[in-house]
């Protein structure tokens, strides 16, 4: 499609994100919530919706929802009523979900995202608590659908954004940030592949400058943030093309096909269910106290934005470095630990971002599995800064040796590997004399004004010392001898 046509339009996107809360038990009963167990082992008469069973509120799920609300600058609402959302489906044994309909626990928030260098605020309409349904499995048995009710009743929060996103990139950054927050808060593992974080995209297009939104289409079933972006891009072209042809966009729910990046019609919204919400008679409203909210808040760790600011202002790191280090809470904490021993903040950041992260990526492990303690890495930096070993030797020789032997003494390792830097001036002086004796005609040239030849002699001395001579001393001595 012609770019000039696309440029006439603007996208309007709002996301509904479901995050499975990592509580030990389900939303309204004591069944476990572990992922990946054999089917139907985490069920009880309550999960199975047997008549006469009663739900009981999981207090931790309230704490988790409050934390997310605070992290997204929401108002935390104290009066929390619950409602039944009725629909029939085989993986929903009760025939309804218990959710928060008119009284979501959090409302009116906003978060800041950065898209291609530009900051923008995205409104959070609401965050409410609800329970998950079970799982229907259609692709194991060729003749029957199978049902796993382990997930039935697992607590969720649904985070609904305002229609403030304007591009696939906006949505990508928003979702990345939401995932970062739930991981920082330890309330959800944020794993889209396993479905513990799910995202429905509401997407419409309108002519730039138009006041009214276009008709939205809802797209489901993207199992990664990248696929959310792909789905939005596909919808952009599809919807613009339809509008250009003068066709109506129908209010629809569509599904994403990861194989070719397209979306296809699942059901038209006009025929959507009427959920017949009504107040849940078995679960009385929960009234939150100020103390309860304050306790939830007190449990919260420093959030990425706060850490990024600290890294920049207190430790003088660049915007880029600060962002990389704050990307994961565990990495940020390792950095904080590292600089509790080490005043060379920039070097500490580099070691973490380059050597350590490189190693973690290569081994596909997390920092919690990294064998070397922050204090040891600080000692390594001290050894470099104290001119005991060169940077190159440190990263190529000592660092790998430390991983093999995490408690070893750095200088012992350097001695063992024969890479301790030579700072004994008289030993270096011997080598300088050798280097100068080797190139008498270059010495003459140097003395005739070609001072750039200094590098040649320094290089020769470094070579003679097998890279162990301290460059600063070598430079001084070469200079001294050439000027004699």
Positions in the binding site for ligand ADP (CB under 6 A): 12-16, 160-163, 202-204, 213-214, 216
* CB closer to ligand ADP out of 171 and 389: 171
* Residue 251 CB, nearest approach to ligand ADP (Å): 8
* CB closer to ligand ADP out of 181 and 464: 181
* CB closer to ligand ADP out of 250 and 299: 250
Whole-angstrom distance between the N-terminal and C-terminal Cα of the chain?
A: 74
Angle subtended at Cα 175 by Cα 173 and Cα 176, rounded to the nearest 5 degrees:
60
Whole-number Å distance between alpha carbons of 186 and 53: 31
* Residue 161 CB, nearest approach to ligand ADP (Å): 5
* CB closer to ligand ADP out of 213 and 264: 213
Residue number of the CB closest to ligand ADP reads: 14
* Residue 66 CB, nearest approach to ligand ADP (Å): 21
* CB closer to ligand ADP out of 229 and 468: 229
The DSSP symbol for 145 reads -
CB atoms within 10 A of CB 53: 15
The DSSP symbol for 272 reads P
Angle subtended at Cα 321 by Cα 318 and Cα 323, rounded to the nearest 5 degrees:
105
* Residue 267 CB, nearest approach to ligand ADP (Å): 13
Contact 124, 162 (CB under 8 A): yes
* Residue 105 CB, nearest approach to ligand ADP (Å): 17
* CB closer to ligand ADP out of 19 and 432: 19
* CB closer to ligand ADP out of 77 and 252: 252
* Residue 229 CB, nearest approach to ligand ADP (Å): 16
- The residues, any chain, with a CB within 8 Å of residue 435's CB and separated by 6 or more, are 457, 460, 461, 464, 478
Residue 225's φ and ψ, nearest 5 degrees, are -70, -35
* CB closer to ligand ADP out of 9 and 345: 9
- The residues, any chain, with a CB within 8 Å of residue 129's CB and separated by 6 or more, are 27, 61, 62, 65, 80, 99, 100, 105, 155, 156, 157
* Residue 23 CB, nearest approach to ligand ADP (Å): 25
Contact 147, 187 (CB under 8 A): no
Is 110 exposed, middle or buried (CB count within 10 Å of its CB: 0-12, 13-18, 19+)?
Answer: middle
Whole-number Å distance between alpha carbons of 447 and 439: 13
* Residue 128 CB, nearest approach to ligand ADP (Å): 11
Residue 96's φ and ψ, nearest 5 degrees, are -160, 160
């Amino acid at each position: 499609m012609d770019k000039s046509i696309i440029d006439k339009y603007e996208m309007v996107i709002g996301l509904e994100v479901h995050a499975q809360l990592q509580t030990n038990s389900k939303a309204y009963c004591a069944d476990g919530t572990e992922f990946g167990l054999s089917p139907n082992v985490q069920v009880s008469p309550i999960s199975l919706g047997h008549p006469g069973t009663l739900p009981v509120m999981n207090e931790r799920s309230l704490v988790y929802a409050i934390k997310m609300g605070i992290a997204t600058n929401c108002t935390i609402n104290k009066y929390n009523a619950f409602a039944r959302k009725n629909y029939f489906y085989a993986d929903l044994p009760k025939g309804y979900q218990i959710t928060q309909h008119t009284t979501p626990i959090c409302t009116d928030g906003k978060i800041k995202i950065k898209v291609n260098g530009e900051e923008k605020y995205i409104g959070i309409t609401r965050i409410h608590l609800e329970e998950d349904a079970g799982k229907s499995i259609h692709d194991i048995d060729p003749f029957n659908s199978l049902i796993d009710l382990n997930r039935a009743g697992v607590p969720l929060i649904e985070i609904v954004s305002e229609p403030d996103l304007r591009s696939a990139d906006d949505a990508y950054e928003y979702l990345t940030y939401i995932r970062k927050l739930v991981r920082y808060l330890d309330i959800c593992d944020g794993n889209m592949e396993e479905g513990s974080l799910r995202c429905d995209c509401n997407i419409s297009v309108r002519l730039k400058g138009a006041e009214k939104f276009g008709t939205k289409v809802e797209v489901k079933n993207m199992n990664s943030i990248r696929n959310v972006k792909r789905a939005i891009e596909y919808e952009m072209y599809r919807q613009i093309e339809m509008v250009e042809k003068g066709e109506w966009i129908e209010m629809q729910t569509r599904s994403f096909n990861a194989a070719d990046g397209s979306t296809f019609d699942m059901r038209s919204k006009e025929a959507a269910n009427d959920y017949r919400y009504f107040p849940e008679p078995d679960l009385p409203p929960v009234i939150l106290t100020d103390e309860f909210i304050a306790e939830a808040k007190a449990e919260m760790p420093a959030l990425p934005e706060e850490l990024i600011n600290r890294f920049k202002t207190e430790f003088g790191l660049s915007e880029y470095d600060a962002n990389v280090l704050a990307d994961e809470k565990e990495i940020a904490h390792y950095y904080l630990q590292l600089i509790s021993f080490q005043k060379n903040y920039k070097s500490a950041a580099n070691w973490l971002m380059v050597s350590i992260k490189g190693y973690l990526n290569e081994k596909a492990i997390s920092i919690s599995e990294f064998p070397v303690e922050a204090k040891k890495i600080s000692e390594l930096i001290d050894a470099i800064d104290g001119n005991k070993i060169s940077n190159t030797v440190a990263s190529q020789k000592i660092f790998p040796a430390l991983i093999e032997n995490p408690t070893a003494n750095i200088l012992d390792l350097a001695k063992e590997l024969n890479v301790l830097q030579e700072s004994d001036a008289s030993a270096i002086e011997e080598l300088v004399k050798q280097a100068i004796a080797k190139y008498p005609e270059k010495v003459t040239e140097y003395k005739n004004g070609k001072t750039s030849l200094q590098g040649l002699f320094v290089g020769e001395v470094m070579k003679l010392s097998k890279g162990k001579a301290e460059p600063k001393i070598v430079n001084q001595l070469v200079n001294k001898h050439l000027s004699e």
